[in-house]
Amino acid sequence: MPHDHTNTKTQTSAIGLGTEKLYYDDAYMREFEASVLTCEHISGSGTDADPSRYGIVLDRTAFFPEEGGQSPDRGSLTAAGTTLQVLDVQIRNGIITHVTDTPIVPGTQVHGCLDFQHRFSNMQQHSAEHLFSGLVWSRLGLTNVGFHLSDTEVTMDYSGSVSAEEAAELELEVNRIIWNNTESRQIFPTKEELNEYSYRSKMDIDGQVRLVIFPGSDICACCAPHVARTGEIGVFRILSVQSHRGGVRIHMLAGERAFHYLTRENAILTETARSLSTSSDQVPARLEKLRADLSETKHLLSEARLALLMKEAAAVPASQQQVCLFSEGLEEPVLRSAVNYLMDRHSGVCGIFNGNDDSGYRYVIGSHSDVLSMQKLLKDTLQARGGGRPPMIQGQVHAHEDEIRALFEFSV
Ligand SMILES: [Zn+2]
């Protein structure tokens, strides 16, 4: 979703309501006084599944609504000693509306209080996005076609491909801008002044444009609160770069969220290294060695199982017509040659079932006489699946070993 739009300092509607956007003057405002202009029951709410909700419009607010892909501010409104949680902040019919579960009488004075930790985190993510998108535009000529800032993830979409190497290079550069601690500016230029600026914007804007300027790095039309100095972003981290609708989607984190993410990742790596009895930098080599060891062990196990199976096969008296043997962890070509061995020694139906009662069996069955009646029996009684043609068939069956053995005894 594009994240820039008309930015008037005071919004107006057909009925003449206006809310002063305090976050334009001061993105760091945590508390404010305001009076309630209107309070309306939100239609549709008030059912068992959806408790009553009220939309409160104030004459001024520091709450930034859900807008341009950014999640809304959280906080509370206190009126006459009662504190109500602000459950949501939406632009409804062009007006910033604070959603609560209790009505407040119009004219009441309220004290607004923001969850500033949440707000500041959004400022860190959004400002970092501007810096990165500015570089993607100036270096790679790609535009930012989507921005999503929720409480769980932050994504940026671009109009063309960005390689992992390019992303890493620009990521470092964004961090250097952060460490330079550049001051930002937000301005409302006149139409004439606007012509002087070369700025990024996802759409044509009719009304007053608000420009967010990081001098030397980026100028973008945007209505959201931003950090005053880039140093407040702290750190910027790209988590992934994925192909997305002909371009790329990049997952990112900045500031405290990036810090917590890196702390978690580090804990996982440290614990992995500890359980492998090695150091963090040796984890990849250690895992590669374990993978090779496992593969070798599987191979040896398979050979041992085959030797056991062949010993079992050799022990079946040649006078016995039907033979049914069980094994586990064998490859199909091995099963086929074992069945061939049995068919040379026994005139009836010879089968090997590879697997176990819990996850089922893969089978190979052969006979120089009649293998198809066994196939039919397996399908009819045990819902086995499979195919093949005489003298050998194969497939899968989910049944117990004794049920399978009974079929071979039954058909003697
Ligand atoms: Zn923006």
* Ligand 1 centroid – CA 157 distance (Å): 13
* Ligand 1 centroid – CA 57 distance (Å): 24
* Ligand 1 centroid – CA 5 distance (Å): 10
pLDDT band, very low/low/confident/very high, at 267 (cuts 50, 70, 90): very high
Q: Does the N-terminal peptide bond of residue 103 adopt cis geometry, omega within 30 degrees of 0?
A: no
CATH code at 66? 2.40.30.130
pLDDT at 12: 45
Asked if the model's pLDDT at residue 51 lies above 70, the reply is yes
Asked if the model's pLDDT at residue 412 lies above 70, the reply is no
Per the structure block, which two tokens stand in for 28? Answer: 């760091």
Task: Output the CA torsion 114→116→118→124 (10° steps).
Answer: 130
* Ligand 1 centroid – CA 259 distance (Å): 22
pLDDT at 47: 87
In a domain, 86, yes or no: yes
Q: How many degrees, rounded to 5, is the angle at CA 343 between CA 371 and CA 333?
A: 90
In a domain, 402, yes or no: yes
Taking each helix axis from N to C terminus, what angle separates 116-140 and 255-275, rounded to the nearest 10 degrees?
Answer: 90
In a domain, 182, yes or no: yes
* Ligand 1 centroid – CA 153 distance (Å): 16
* Ligand 1 centroid – CA 237 distance (Å): 18
Query: Are residue 109 and residue 43 in the same domain, yes or no?
Result: yes
Taking 3-state DSSP, the helix, strand and coil percentages for the chain, each rounded to the nearest 5, stand at: 35, 30, 35
Last residue of a domain, one of 218, 247, 262: 262
**By the 8 A CB rule, do 104 and 56 touch?**
yes
* Overall size of the chain counted in residues: 412
pLDDT band, very low/low/confident/very high, at 6 (cuts 50, 70, 90): very low
Last residue of a domain, one of 67, 90, 114: 114
Where residue 141 falls (left for φ over 0; alpha for ψ -120 to 50; beta otherwise) is: left
Query: Are residue 124 and residue 253 in the same domain, yes or no?
Result: yes
* Ligand 1 centroid – CA 14 distance (Å): 27
pLDDT at 411: 47
In a domain, 306, yes or no: no
* Ligand 1 centroid – CA 198 distance (Å): 16
pLDDT at 206: 73
* Ligand 1 centroid – CA 209 distance (Å): 12
CA distance 126 to 230: 11
pLDDT digits (tens, 9 = 90+) for 60-88: 999 999 998 899 999 999 998 999 999 99
Asked if the model's pLDDT at residue 334 lies above 90, the reply is no
Query: Are residue 36 and residue 106 in the same domain, yes or no?
Result: yes
What sign does the CA torsion over 110, 116, 122, 128 have?
A: positive
pLDDT band, very low/low/confident/very high, at 410 (cuts 50, 70, 90): low
* Ligand 1 centroid – CA 16 distance (Å): 28
Query: Are residue 47 and residue 170 in the same domain, yes or no?
Result: no
pLDDT band, very low/low/confident/very high, at 42 (cuts 50, 70, 90): very high
CATH code at 397? 3.10.310.40
Query: Are residue 107 and residue 147 in the same domain, yes or no?
Result: no
Cβ contacts of 147 within 8 Å, gap of 6 or more? 1, 2, 3, 68, 69, 70, 129, 133, 155, 156, 157
* Ligand 1 centroid – CA 366 distance (Å): 70
In a domain, 267, yes or no: no
* Ligand 1 centroid – CA 3 distance (Å): 6
CATH code at 211? 3.30.980.10
Q: Which of 2-16, 36-50, 264-278 has the lowest mean pLDDT?
A: 2-16
DSSP class per residue in 113-170: EE-HHHHHHHHHHHHHHHHHHHHHHHHH---EEEEEE-SS-EEEEESS---HHHHHHH
For residue 10, the one-letter residue type is T
Average pLDDT, the chain: 92
Query: Are residue 15 and residue 64 in the same domain, yes or no?
Result: yes
* Ligand 1 centroid – CA 263 distance (Å): 27
pLDDT band, very low/low/confident/very high, at 202 (cuts 50, 70, 90): low
Asked if the model's pLDDT at residue 96 lies above 90, the reply is yes
Percent of the chain with pLDDT over 90: 84
pLDDT at 17: 61
pLDDT digits (tens, 9 = 90+) for 115-127: 999 999 999 999 9
Asked if the model's pLDDT at residue 333 lies above 90, the reply is no
pLDDT band, very low/low/confident/very high, at 177 (cuts 50, 70, 90): very high
CA distance 140 to 143: 9
Percent of the chain with pLDDT over 70: 94
pLDDT band, very low/low/confident/very high, at 104 (cuts 50, 70, 90): very high
Q: Which of 71-85, 200-214, 304-318 has the lowest mean pLDDT?
A: 200-214
- Nearest CA to 364 among 323, 304, 320? 323
Query: Are residue 100 and residue 204 in the same domain, yes or no?
Result: no
**By the 8 A CB rule, do 233 and 124 touch?**
yes
DSSP class per residue in 336-357: HHHHHHHHHH-SS-EEEEEEET
* Ligand 1 centroid – CA 130 distance (Å): 6
Query: Are residue 159 and residue 247 in the same domain, yes or no?
Result: yes
Last residue of a domain, one of 47, 81, 114: 114
In a domain, 280, yes or no: no
Asked if the model's pLDDT at residue 302 lies above 90, the reply is no
Query: Are residue 258 and residue 148 in the same domain, yes or no?
Result: yes
**pTM (two decimals):** 0.78
Domain housing 321: 317-410
Query: Are residue 126 and residue 104 in the same domain, yes or no?
Result: no
* Ligand 1 centroid – CA 127 distance (Å): 7
* Ligand 1 centroid – CA 375 distance (Å): 66
In a domain, 254, yes or no: yes
Asked if the model's pLDDT at residue 90 lies above 60, the reply is yes
* Ligand 1 centroid – CA 38 distance (Å): 29
Mean pLDDT of 202-209: 76
* Ligand 1 centroid – CA 222 distance (Å): 4
* Ligand 1 centroid – CA 406 distance (Å): 72
Query: Are residue 162 and residue 218 in the same domain, yes or no?
Result: yes
Query: Are residue 340 and residue 369 in the same domain, yes or no?
Result: yes
In a domain, 307, yes or no: no
Residue showing tokens 């293998």:
371
* Number of separate domains in the chain: 3
For residue 294, the one-letter residue type is L
